[in-house]
Amino acid sequence: MELKLVLRSSKDGSRKEFRAVTSVRRSYQELDGLIGEIKKELIGNATVSFSFKSGNMDGVLVFLDGQFLGKTPLQRSDILPGNHRIKYYKDGFQSEEKKVSIRDGGSFEILLSKIPKEGLISVVSNPEGANVYLGSEFLGKTPLKNVRVKTGYNRLRLSMEGHVDLLKGVEIKKDEETKLDLILRPGDTLSYYKNKQNVFLDHSYNDFSIYSLYGILLFYAGYYYFNLKANDLYDRARSRVNFTNLLLAASVAPQDQFIGLYLYEERIIRETNADAGKYQKLSGNFGRREGVTGGVMVYGMAAMLILAATFYWLGLDEETLDVGVAPKRVHNPYAISGQFVEVDSYAKFNFKF
């Protein structure tokens, strides 16, 4: 795969071309040089060369101001000089973050220390012999007894050929044994987690719950329309019925004319009430003063609300419920007291594999 990128200056119309040959599979690794060239072109010659080390440990992830740079040992020549925050991270080790002044030809080195394993976990599975992973760390095959692991929230995964991978959130506490007795179901992992909540074709319970909420809006539109039609009938009848003229006719006009006028206006009111009542039976009503009056639209909204809650409840299971957030205050020298609280979040289960 050949890439050609052209930068055109909006000031003088000049062009700068960049070319690279790579593959889709290795583009992330092979385009690093091209990215550096583009950075230099856009930023100018103000960038400096800087190296990142981690002692004898290789493969430590390096982040500069939150942006991933690469793995140690690392040499970069496209970094702007000045003060930056550098973070080192490696699974199983304590991450380190420091504020560093970067200058040309400089280097930065931190030695990471291992996270102490102060918790215990025991895992039994049916069938036995399943691979057990805590996060990305392989613990062994079941049954496991009193294996030392790091404390805190994590995700446990059991994997076995011919069975669906089991994912479960766990909290490992210091000097406490976490015991788990788990059952693996036969099947294919990818197809199970891809289709586990599908009810009809590729529609899940959550989809039908959302469709039901949309149905509430549809019935509410009907409720509003039919009430509007009923009110319009009353407004038109009000302009045809005049009680002032009726009172005047009672005192001035002959009795037969008064009776005829009264019956005519009474018929208008009766027909209006009958026609408007049909719309009100369709719409129903609810309000603070009127209370709730049954109608097709009101019943429809209530039914859709019940269906939305029902489909949502049906879509819940142990795996989808096993999601949480653990707020935890962490030391931050740059936080303003009383204003900023950082939280460590964890997802015990990611809804889909």
Tokens 């027909």 appear where? Answer: 271
Q: How many CB atoms lie within 10 A of CB 108?
A: 20
Question: What spatial distance separates the first Cα and last Cα of the chain, rounded to whole Å?
Answer: 31
Closest CA to 179 of 125, 117, 118: 125
Give 289's contacts (C-beta < 8 A, 6+ positions apart).
Answer: none
* Domain co-membership, 231 together with 216: yes
Residue 158 lies in a domain: yes
How far is it, in rounded angstroms, from Cα 182 to Cα 128?
10
Supply the pTM of this predicted model.
0.45
Residue 3 and residue 94 share a domain? no
180 and 246 co-located in one domain: no
CA 120: distance to chain centroid? Answer: 32
Kindly report whether the peptide bond that precedes residue 186 is cis, defined as omega within 30 degrees of 0.
no
* 255 SS3 class: helix
Whether residues 303 and 241 share a domain: the answer is yes
Q: Is residue 346 part of a domain?
A: no
Let me know if residue 177 belongs to a domain. Answer: yes
Answer yes or no: is 322 within a domain.
no
In a domain, 186, yes or no: yes
Q: Are 31 and 22 in contact (CB under 8 A)?
A: yes
H, E, C per residue of 125-176: EECCCCEEEECCEEEEECCEEEEEECCEEEEEEEECCCECCEEEEEEECCCC
Polymer length of the chain: 353
Range(s) of the domain holding residue 211? 205-314
Distance CA 118, CA 148 (A): 7
**Within 10 Å of residue 63's Cβ, how many Cβ atoms?**
16
| CA trace torsion 180, 181, 186, 191 (10° rounding) | -20
Element (H, E) at 258: helix 255-283
Maximum pairwise Cα distance, the chain = 117
pLDDT tens string, the chain, 353 residues long: the values are 788 888 887 777 778 888 888 877 777 667 777 777 777 777 666 778 888 888 888 888 889 888 888 888 888 877 888 888 999 988 778 888 889 888 888 888 888 888 888 889 999 999 999 999 988 788 999 999 989 888 888 888 899 999 988 888 888 888 888 999 999 989 888 777 766 667 777 777 888 889 999 999 999 999 888 888 888 888 777 777 666 565 656 666 676 666 776 777 778 778 888 888 888 888 887 766 666 777 888 899 999 999 999 988 887 766 655 544 333 444 444 444 554 444 433 333 443 33
Residue in the block written with tokens 């290795």: 26
Whether 250 and 157 share a structural domain: no
Same domain assignment for residues 278 and 265? yes
**What is the model's pLDDT at position 338?**
52
What is the number of domains present in the chain?
A: 4
244 and 150, same structural domain?
Answer: no
β-partners of residue 5 are 18
Residue 271 and residue 240 in contact, taking contact as beta carbons nearer than 8 Å:
no
Do residues 249 and 268 both lie within one domain? yes
Domain boundary among 115, 146, 170: 115
| Same domain? 185 vs 249 | no
CATH number for the domain that contains residue 63:
2.60.40.1120
Q: Nearest CA to 112 among 73, 55, 51? A: 55
User: Cα(294)–Cα(285) distance, rounded to whole angstroms?
Assistant: 7
Structure confidence at residue 127 (pLDDT):
92
Which helix (H) or strand (E) is 193 found in, with range?
Answer: helix 189-195
- What pLDDT, on the 0 to 100 scale, is given for residue 248? 59
